Amino acid sequence: MSDNRVKGYAQAMLNVAQAEGNVTGISNEMFSVAQAVSSNEELRSTLTDNRIPANRRQQIVEDLLGGKASNATVGLVSMVVGAGRAGELPDIANALAAMAANQDGRQVATVRSAVPLSDDQQQRLAAALKQNTGQDIDLKVIVDESVMGGLVTTIGDTVIDGSVRSRLSKLRETL
């Protein structure tokens, strides 16, 4: 999907979220749904399979998210899946998060961790990142077991890699 199309979908979602008065909530839910689709191969292949009728794929989305996310989020995800763009859902969610954060003068920081972060850890990490960047941080945590341990933070084009995986990779290169 081209950048323009991703931004177009993200902008449309932002408009809906603003109309609903729940930009942060819908943005967070979209981000979570996108991560779930990315990390689940079976779900991703089902939602991106164009041989399955669009209404059937949309029904799967509504069944999965019903009661767990806002109606607006369910509708937006259903719209993307019905349009055959489920594969681009992570890019759209990231663009939406960036737009929502920029609207409030914040910057999105994506954090990958092998284990979930507590609220306290997230707050302290956001504060530490704000101290470095000078901007309020909208933290998006992704649980990724491939990290093994530690954290990998991405802010824009900057990557702060403190993961065990990267240390082992460096060890492999040294050997």
Partner 1 sequence: MYDIITVLAAEGPNGWFIPADPKELYYGGAAFLIVMALLSWKVLPVIKKGLNDSQQAMVDEGASADIALADAQKEEGDLRASLGDPQAEGKRLVAEAHEAANQLRLDSHAKTQQMVNDAWAKAQGDVVSLKTSVTSDLSGEVSTKALTAAEAIVANNLDGPAQTDLIEDYIQKVASA
Would you tell me which residues interact with partner 1 (CB under 8 A)?
113-115, 117, 121, 124-125, 127-129, 131-132, 148-151, 153, 160, 162, 164, 168, 171-172, 175
- Residue closer to partner 1 (CB basis): 24 or 122: 122
Asked whether the beta carbons of 81 and 65 are under 8 A apart, the reply is no
To partner 1, the closest distance from the beta carbon of 91 in angstroms equals 26
What are the CA-CA distances from residue 77 to residues 2, 9, 60, 92 (Å)? 19, 11, 11, 10
- Residue closer to partner 1 (CB basis): 70 or 135: 135
DSSP string, 76-116: HHHHHHHTT-GGGHHHHHHHHHHHHHHHTTEEEEEEEESSP
Angle at 168 between CA 164 and CA 169, to 5 degrees: 115
- Residue closer to partner 1 (CB basis): 1 or 127: 127
To partner 1, the closest distance from the beta carbon of 130 in angstroms equals 10
To partner 1, the closest distance from the beta carbon of 131 in angstroms equals 6
Quote the tokens at residue 27.
Answer: 């943005």
- Residue closer to partner 1 (CB basis): 33 or 125: 125
To partner 1, the closest distance from the beta carbon of 144 in angstroms equals 13
To partner 1, the closest distance from the beta carbon of 93 in angstroms equals 24
- Residue closer to partner 1 (CB basis): 26 or 147: 147
Asked whether the beta carbons of 95 and 67 are under 8 A apart, the reply is no
Instruction: Give the separation between CA 117 and CA 144, rounded to whole angstroms.
Output: 12
